[in-house]
Amino acid sequence: MSTDRPETWAHRPLPTITGANGTWTWAITRPAELTSARNDLRRGLAATPLPQGADGDDVDRLLLAFEELASNGLRHSGAAVRVRVYSCDDGWLVDVSDARPDRPPVPAVDRDPAFGGLGLHLIARLSSAFGWAVVGARKHVWAALGPTA
């Protein structure tokens, strides 16, 4: 394992939301609630027009990013998280916030994949932009996803 201090995720402000077509919000207090929230998001996406050029594979990427960010928030904050997904003209924004602004997201470095910890690396590959910011007393970890077509 590397002895270097791992880099944190990029500290960037939350993107400005323009052309919102739908917003979904959950307060998640335990991992079992993630499945219900994910199913709720899937139903909501089916009832809302997709961003131009988006398809089922893009929805699957969004659902994976949603679950990874929300589960990371629960695991590492030790408290409830608020999860918001915004559907916009050009894609989606997943915003997970917790009450631990003192604990920035830190991607795993030199960790055996069998021990997990690859979620932030996965989010970075799935998204067009990602970052974290402190707004008020809450840390927001976010990812923007758009159509891959």
Query: pLDDT digits over 19-70, tens only?
Result: 778 899 999 999 899 999 999 999 999 999 999 899 999 999 999 999 999 9
| Residue 148 CB neighbour total at 10 angstroms | 13
Which CATH code of 1.10.3720.10, 3.30.450.40, 3.30.565.10, 3.40.640.10 fits the domain covering 22-145? 3.30.565.10
Region at 102 (left for phi over 0; alpha for psi -120 to 50; beta for the rest): alpha
Would you list the domain boundaries of the chain? 22-145
Query: pLDDT digits over 81-134, tens only?
Result: 999 999 998 899 999 999 999 888 877 666 655 555 668 888 988 999 999 999
> For position 131, what pLDDT does the model report?
94
> For position 114, what pLDDT does the model report?
54
Rg (Cα) of the chain, in Å, rounded? 15
> For position 141, what pLDDT does the model report?
96
